[in-house]
Each structure stands twice: as structure tokens, then as C-alpha cells.
Amino acid sequence: MTDQTADEIAAINNELVLHGKWVRKLGGRRGDLSFRNLAGLALKKLKLCGCKFTGANLSHTNFTGSDLTGADLFGSDLEGADLTSANLNGVDLRGANLHQAILSQCTLRGADFRAGRTQPGEEGTTRLTEAKLDNAVLCEANFTGCDMSGSDFAEADFKGADLSRAVLTGADLKGANFNDVKFGGTVLELSRLSPTQLTATKGGVIEAEHPELSAQRVQAAVLSHVRWIKSSGREGQRLDLEAVRIEGAVFAGEDLSGARLRRCILKGTDLTGTQMNMADLSYSDLRGAVLEDGFFRGTNFRRANLGGARLAGACFDPMALDHERKWPANFDGAILHDADLTNASFVGAVMLNADVGGAIMQGTVLRGVDLGTVKRSALEIGGHGPKERRRARRHTKPLVFVKSPNGVSKCHDWSFGGLCLHWDGGTAPPKRGDTISARLAAEGQAAPPVLVALIATAVQPQRGTISFRFVTLEDDFLPIRLTQTPTTCWVRPIAGVEFSVGRRLSPARDPQQ
């Protein structure tokens, strides 16, 4: 849908015809559409090499397959424009706005994304935010100072590009090639880089700043938000925080619907049973957070990192706005590596390019979800290759202690297939694939320690933890009582392969016998 008049359309067409002749060397002249309104026009598969679009309004314009080699897009507005498979080699994009533009499979060799101003006093930073550039060729492009937050650069080729002072907070960089890339003051989240990519940065990266809020300020903000909810906005204030650190906070059972917590560090946060319908948690780091049995209808988790988070029994269904309209939960580009999605409901959720590699999905409801682009990629840990998938739900209670050659250590968490152990020093930690013998005992239980053989599956030096898989057990059963249920869960070894899980309703009767 365009908003140009018939005379404006005719003038634009005339300029494009003259430019077409100029390109083919049949007369004409170089096209100049500077500061013109071309919003929403279809300019697909055209020869627009060297055309001038300085300061032009190109929002939502369709350039699919067009050749824009050497074009002048200085200060232009390309918000939401579709440049799929376009040739943008050597284009001048200084000061341009490419927010939510689609540049999938584009070639941008030598493109210039530096700051630039069309008029004195205007903000000149190039915006390449929330854009789609998967599989794009960005070799030798100059992104100095460019804001690239939240964009999709999966499998993009940055070879020889300049990323000095660029901001890539929340960007998807999985599989991106950083060979010969110039880094210097580049702002991004190190957790999103593979070991190979991290090595290529050569220390030229700055971790995105997230000032830590005190527990008192967080509590005051939550209480104010609760008043805002109960009074329908007449009292209190909406919880609205961005780029702050709130690690390990406890929001269990609170009503935080409509809260805005974008780009926040929320690792290990307890959101058990919390209502956060229609909240905004986009780009936030929720690794290891507990969202079990919570309600997150219509909540925005775009590009959020939920690696290892516990989402069991949580509701991520759409939020009904009226009788006809429903607002879906958004997991576009979210990381759900090794997360526990047991019995969680994602009815109609947006999961474009979400990565669920290693996630536990027993009983997960995905009705109405488009799984065509969902990834199940392997997670690299410390350069030792992909992490083994965890097949059973993990628990933190009761606390399990392990006596091994390193001494007595406590488990970070455990499941009926293995455990994650804090390795606090002493002897050298085992390498991936090493087997050790250990004894397990649960806190507060009278059962004697159980002898086990463990094989290391993932070593995480930064966290100081090592994940193990059970190989053998000394006894037929390892009884551990879960605090969440009145029953006792049991682990039974099966000929050195894996384990089956049974439930024992009373000491006198085992359903599997």
C-alpha cells in the first residue's frame, strides 16, 4: 500500500526509466530520487546500480532481487524494507535507518554503515536494529559505530569487516564468520559467541553494561507495579527497566503482567507461579531462571536467552484481546538450549528461528506453532564439541551430595539420567568423556550412600560445573523423595545403557515389579 499521488508515481517511474537507460549506456542519466517518498513501492529485480536515494523514504519498499551496487542510500529510511537477495555491494548506508529491514542472503561487500548526517544536528548513527541478515555476505563492510542490536546474523559472513564500536546487543551470531574481522570496543554479549568466535575477537569486545539494582529498589519497583495492576493504572507505576542486572531475584507468585524488562540480566531469577501476561522480556538473559507453573500469555521473549531455564508447567498461550483477536507469546530467535519444557504450553506461539537444542520436551504442547524454522542445534561447551542432550527433567531439591576423588561436593542440579556438579578445586577436573566413581547421598534422607559410575558430558569452566551421565548404579534403586510430590521417584539401571523412571506409591508396592 503506497501513499503517493499519481503525479508522484509518474515522476518516480520517469526517473527510473532514465536511470535504466543510463545503466545500459543507452543515454538517459543517473537516477536521482533523493528525499523522495518511495515508501511501500515494489521495486523488485531492477537495475538500480549507482542510483541516488539520499535521505529518501524507502520504508517497507520491496527491493527483492534488485541490483543496488554502489547506490547512494546515505541517510535514507529503509525501516521494514525487503532487500532479500539484493546486491548491495559498495552501497553508502551511512546514517541510514534499517530497523526491521529484511536483508536475508544479501551481498553487502564493502558497504559503508558508518555514522552520517543529512542535516546538521540530526542523529547520524546507522540503525541496523532487529534486521534480518541471515546468510548475508558482509565481507569488508564498515560497521564502525553502527547499532546492530537484536539483528539476525546467523551464518552471515563478516570476513574482513570492521566492527569497531559497533553495538550487537541481543544479536543472533550463530555460525557467523569472524575471520579477519576488526574488533575494537565492540559491544555484545559474550554468551552468544561460540569458542571459535570468541577467539576471533582477540579481546576487542566489551561486555554490554548492565548496572546492578539493589534488592530494595527492585522490591519497591515490584510493589509499585502491583499497585499499578490492582488500581488499573491509577496508582503506582509500571515496572519498566532496561539493561539492568537483577540476578537471583525472587518474584514467585507476584502479578507482574505488562512489566517491561528488556535487555536485562535475570539469570537464576525465581518466577515460579508468577503472572507476567503481556510482559516484555525481549533480549533478556534468563539462563537458569525458574518460570515453572507461571502464566506468560502473550509475553515477548524475542531473542531472550533461556538456556537451562525451567519452564515446566508454564503457560505461554496467546492472550485474548477481545472475542476475535489473540496476541501470541513471541519466542522469535530465543535460545532454549537445555531448558526444561516439561508439560509447558506454547499454543500458537511465535517460534521463528528459536533454538531448542537439548531441551526436555516431554508433554510440551505446541499446537498451532510453526516449527518450520525451529532449530535443534548442538551447544558448544568450552570448545569440546556439542553437549549431550539431557533426557529427563532436572531437580534441585532435595540437595544431593557427591563424594568423589575431589572430596564432597554438592550438585547444582540432578535428573534421573545424570547430574551437574560444582567442581570447587582440589584435584584437576575430569575432561569430557572421562569416567569417575562416586557415592551419592540426599540431604535429610537416611538411605546409605549409593555407589555410581559417572561419565563427564560437558565441562563448563566459567560456571565451575561439570555435567555427568550415570553409567552404573550399585543398587537396583536409588530412592529420592521429591518435595514437589507426595510420591517417591526411583531410578533403575538397565544393563549399562540408560535408565527408566518408575514411581513408587508406597514402600510395599512398586508399579514396575
Give whichever of 283-287, 435-439, 440-444 has the largest mean pLDDT.
283-287
Q: Are residues 414 and 367 in the same domain?
A: no
CATH number at residue 500: 2.40.10
| DSSP string covering 354-368 | -B-TT-B-TT-B-TT
Q: Which residue has the higher pLDDT, 209 or 84?
A: 84
- Domain range enclosing 459: 400-504
| DSSP string covering 464-476 | TEEEEEEEEESSS
8 Å CB contact between 438 and 392: no
Q: Are residues 147 and 255 in the same domain?
A: no
Q: Are residues 362 and 404 in the same domain?
A: no
pLDDT at 428: 74
pLDDT at 440: 81
User: Is position 384 within any domain?
Assistant: no
Going by C-alpha positions, the residue among 176, 150, 189, 175 that lies closest to residue 378 is 175
Query: What confidence tier does 401 reach under pLDDT thresholds 50, 70, 90?
Result: confident
Query: What confidence tier does 438 reach under pLDDT thresholds 50, 70, 90?
Result: confident
pLDDT at 404: 75
Q: What does the pLDDT average to over 410-418?
A: 79
Domain-terminating residue out of 207, 226, 259: 207
- Which cell goes with 110? 564493502
pLDDT at 509: 31
User: Is position 162 within any domain?
Assistant: yes
User: Is position 411 within any domain?
Assistant: yes
User: Is position 406 within any domain?
Assistant: yes
Q: Which residue has the higher pLDDT, 465 or 31?
A: 31
Neighbours of 195 (CB within 10 A): 12
Q: What does the pLDDT average to over 427-453?
A: 76
Query: What confidence tier does 487 reach under pLDDT thresholds 50, 70, 90?
Result: very low
User: Is position 395 within any domain?
Assistant: no
Instruction: Give 109-171 as a 3 state SS string.
Output: CCCECCCCCCCCCCCCCCECCCCECCCCECCCCECCCCECCCCECCCCECCCCECCCCECCCC
Residue 318 has pLDDT above 90, yes or no: yes
Q: Are residues 177 and 307 in the same domain?
A: no
Q: Are residues 184 and 88 in the same domain?
A: yes
Q: Are residues 260 and 314 in the same domain?
A: yes
- The CA distance from 335 to 64, in Å, is 29
Domain-terminating residue out of 165, 187, 207: 207
Reported as a single tens digit per residue, the pLDDT across 288-309 is: 899 999 999 999 999 899 998 9
Q: Are residues 203 and 233 in the same domain?
A: no
Residue 32 has pLDDT above 90, yes or no: yes
Residue 479 has pLDDT above 60, yes or no: no
Q: What does the pLDDT average to over 154-166?
A: 94
Q: Are residues 191 and 241 in the same domain?
A: no
Residue 504 has pLDDT above 80, yes or no: no
The total of structural domains in the chain comes to 3
pLDDT at 424: 65
pLDDT at 474: 42
User: Is position 246 within any domain?
Assistant: yes
User: Is position 122 within any domain?
Assistant: yes
Q: Are residues 61 and 139 in the same domain?
A: yes
Q: Are residues 186 and 249 in the same domain?
A: no
Q: Are residues 457 and 430 in the same domain?
A: yes
CATH number at residue 90: 2.160.20.80
Domain-terminating residue out of 162, 184, 207: 207
Q: Are residues 203 and 231 in the same domain?
A: no
Q: Look up the pTM and report it.
A: 0.65
- Which cell goes with 40? 511501500
pLDDT at 450: 77
User: Is position 394 within any domain?
Assistant: no
